[in-house]
Amino acid sequence: MKSAKSYIQEHKDRFIQELIDLLKIPSISADSAYKDDVIKTAQAIKNSLENAGCDVVEICETPGYPIVYGEKMIDPNLPTVLVYGHYDVQPPDPLDLWDSPPFEPVIKATELHPDGAIFARGSCDDKGQMYMHVKAMEYMTQTDQLPCNVKFMIEGEEEVGSESLGWFVERNQQKLANDIILISDTGMIANDVPSITTGLRGLSYVEVEVTGPNRDLHSGLYGGAVANPINILTKMIASLHDENNHITIPGFYDKVEELSQSERDAMAEAPFSLEAYQNALNIESVYGEAGYTTNERNSIRPTLDVNGIWGGYTGEGAKTVIASKAYAKISMRLVPNQEWTEITELFQNHFESIAPAGVEVKVTPHHGGQAYVTPIDTIGYQAASKAYESTFGKTPIPQRSGGSIPIVALFEKELGSKTILMGFGLDSDAIHSPNEHYGIWNYLKGIETIPQFYHHFVELSRES
Ligand code: BES
Ligand code: MN
Ligand code: MN
C-alpha cells in the first residue's frame, strides 16, 4: 500500500499549487468590501472537499458567511473525526510593510524554513493548515486507507468571532455528532521540537469611547480648562495595570486557575531561549506580570492589551486641537474558569467608575469566548502523540498556547466532544502580521502526520 510520504512526494507540486490558488482569494471576513471573495472561497473549499473524496458536501447558509460542510461516512460502527478549520483571513494591513503583496503568494526560503515558505495572508492562519486536512483526506481516499468516518466543518468568520458558527452548531448537533474534533490552527515549538497545543486562552474584546466637549476645540482657547478626552483615556488605560503589571479591575483574578508548582515546573522544562525570543523581536528585555516567566505570561496568565487607539488630529503637520472624542479597542486574554461575559461586565463597570467628571464613557462589548484545556490522558491525545512520533521521530511536548479559538469551548458544551489541536505553524510565521508565511516542510509534514492520527485513533478506540 502506498505510504503518505511517497504519495506526497508524487503530488507535492500540485498540493502547493492548489494552496497558492486558494491564497489568491482575499477572504477578509472583517471587511465587507471583500464579501464576494469570502463567498468565492467557500465555493472553492466545497470543490476541494468533493475532489478529496467526500460523499456529501454542502454550503450551509447562516446569518453571516456560509459554513462548508463535508462528510464521508464509511461505517456507523467506526469512530467519526470532525475536522474544523477556517477559510477567512485577517486584514493584511499595514500593506506597506509587506515585502510582496499579501494575495500574490510567493515562495522564499527563510532561516527557519530552508526548504521555502509560502508568503501570503492566510498561508499559516488558517488556509494552509486547514488545507493539509483536505489533502490528507485525498491521500486516504485515493489509496483506500480511510479508517473511519470523517466530517469537515470549515467556517468563514473565525477571525471576527465565529458568531454564525455558534448559531450553526446549536442547530446541528446531530449532523455534527463525532468522537473527536481535530483542528490545525495553532503552532508548535520548532520543526525539530514537535509539540501539541493543550490549551487556548479565552477572550473578551471591548471598545471604549470617551466624550468630552460637544465639539473639537482650539487647544489654546480651551486647553487646561476642560477635560481632554485623549488625555483622560490614556490615563484611564494606564491605571488598568499596577506597578507589578497586575490588572487592577476589581474581581478580575477571582476565578483564575492557579497552577500547582509541579505543573509550573513541567512547563518550565519545555525548551525555550529567552535570548532567542528577545532577538527575534529585537527587544532588549521582556515585560510583564511580576512573578511569572515569559511562557507563563503568554499562556496561563490573563492579560489586558490595547489593540488600537485613536482620536484627534493624526494627519501631516500640526493642528492645535482638543478632540471631542477618543477611542480604544481592548482585548483581554482569559484563562480557565474566568467567564468571559462576567469579565466583560467587570471591565465595563470598572471603566465607567474611574471616569472623572467632565467626560462621558461608553463601553461596547464585542465578541469573546472561554479558555480551553485539552486533557492528555485521553485516546485522542495519545493518538496525536503517536502520530507525531511516527513522522517526527520524537514524542511531542504538550504545551498551552496564548491564542484563542473561542469556538472550541463551545464545541465541548454543544457537541460533548474534546478537541485535539495539531498545529504545525511556528511563532515566527507572522500570523496576523505583515509577511505571514507557512513552511512548505510544515505543510507537507502536516499532510503526512494527519493520516497517522486517524490510524492511531481508530486503533486506540478499538482497544478501549
Ligand atoms: N489561529 C488563531 C489562534 C491561534 C494561533 C491559537 C496560534 C494558538 C496559536 C485564530 O485564527 C485567531 O487568530 N484567533 C483570534 C481570536 C478570534 C476571536 C479573533 C485570536 O487569538 O486573536
Ligand atoms: Mn486561525
Ligand atoms: Mn487568526
- Whether the CB-CB separation of 90 and 34 falls below 8 Å is answered with no
| Closest atom of ligand 1 to CA, residue 161 | 18
Residue 125 Cα, ligand 2 centroid: separation in angstroms? 5
| Closest atom of ligand 1 to CA, residue 159 | 19
% the chain with pLDDT above 70 = 100
133-169 pLDDT tens trace: 999 999 999 999 999 999 999 999 999 999 999 999 9
62-81 pLDDT tens trace: 999 999 999 999 999 999 99
Residue 369 Cα, ligand 1 centroid: separation in angstroms? 11
For position 316, what pLDDT does the model report?
97
* 274 DSSP 8-state letter: H
> Cα–Cα distance between 106 and 64 in angstroms, integer?
31
Residue 6 Cα, ligand 2 centroid: separation in angstroms? 29
Residue nearest to atom 10 of ligand 1 (CA): 405
Residue 403 Cα, ligand 1 centroid: separation in angstroms? 5
383-419 pLDDT tens trace: 999 999 999 999 999 999 999 999 999 999 999 999 9
> Residue 49 carries which side chain, given as an amino acid letter?
L
pLDDT of 381 > 70? The answer is: yes
Which grid coordinates are listed for 258?
492557579
pLDDT band at 258 (very low <50, low <70, confident <90, very high): very high
Residue nearest to atom 5 of ligand 1 (CA): 186
310-349 pLDDT tens trace: 999 999 999 999 999 999 999 999 999 999 999 999 999 9
Domain ranges of the chain: 4-200+371-463, 202-256+302-369
| Closest atom of ligand 1 to CA, residue 425 | 7
Helices within 283-336 (DSSP H only) = 294-297
179-205 pLDDT tens trace: 999 999 999 999 999 999 999 999 999
> Cα–Cα distance between 32 and 448 in angstroms, integer?
36
CATH architecture of the domain 4-200+371-463 equals 3-Layer(aba) Sandwich (3.40)
Q: Long-range contacts for 271-280 (Cβ within 8 Å, ≥24 apart)? A: 271/189, 271/190, 271/193, 280/428
Task: List ligand 1's pocket residues with C-beta within 6 A.
Answer: 125-126, 158-159, 161, 185-187, 200, 203, 367, 401, 403-406
For position 259, what pLDDT does the model report?
93
| Closest atom of ligand 1 to CA, residue 404 | 21
pLDDT of 1 > 80? The answer is: no
Query: Which residue do the cell numbers 479508517 mark?
Result: 147
**Torsion 420-424-426-431 (CA) sign:** negative
| Closest atom of ligand 1 to CA, residue 205 | 18
> What's the whole-number average pLDDT of the chain?
97
Which grid coordinates are listed for 320?
492645535
For position 204, what pLDDT does the model report?
97
Residue 458 Cα, ligand 1 centroid: separation in angstroms? 29
For position 464, what pLDDT does the model report?
84
Residues with CB under 5 A from ligand 2 (ion): 125-126, 185
13-68 pLDDT tens trace: 999 999 999 999 999 999 999 999 999 999 999 999 999 999 999 999 999 999 99
* H/E element, 398: strand 397-400
**Any idea which fold 202-256+302-369 has?**
Alpha-Beta Plaits (3.30.70)
Residue 427 Cα, ligand 3 centroid: separation in angstroms? 12
Note the pTM of the prediction, 2 decimals.
0.95
- Whether the CB-CB separation of 29 and 160 falls below 8 Å is answered with yes
Q: Which ligand is nearest to the CA of 410?
A: 1
Residue 135 Cα, ligand 3 centroid: separation in angstroms? 21
Work out the number of other CB atoms within 10 angstroms of the CB of residue 270. Answer: 14
Q: Could you tell which of 196, 203, 405 is best to mutate to test the pocket of ligand 1, judged by most ligand atoms within 8 Å of the CB?
A: 405
- Whether the CB-CB separation of 426 and 192 falls below 8 Å is answered with no
Q: Which ligand is nearest to the CA of 187?
A: 1
Beta-strand pair 419-421/321-322:
unpaired
- Whether the CB-CB separation of 139 and 133 falls below 8 Å is answered with no
Residue 38 Cα, ligand 1 centroid: separation in angstroms? 18
Paired with 191 in beta bridges are none
Query: Which residue do the cell numbers 473525526 mark?
Result: 81
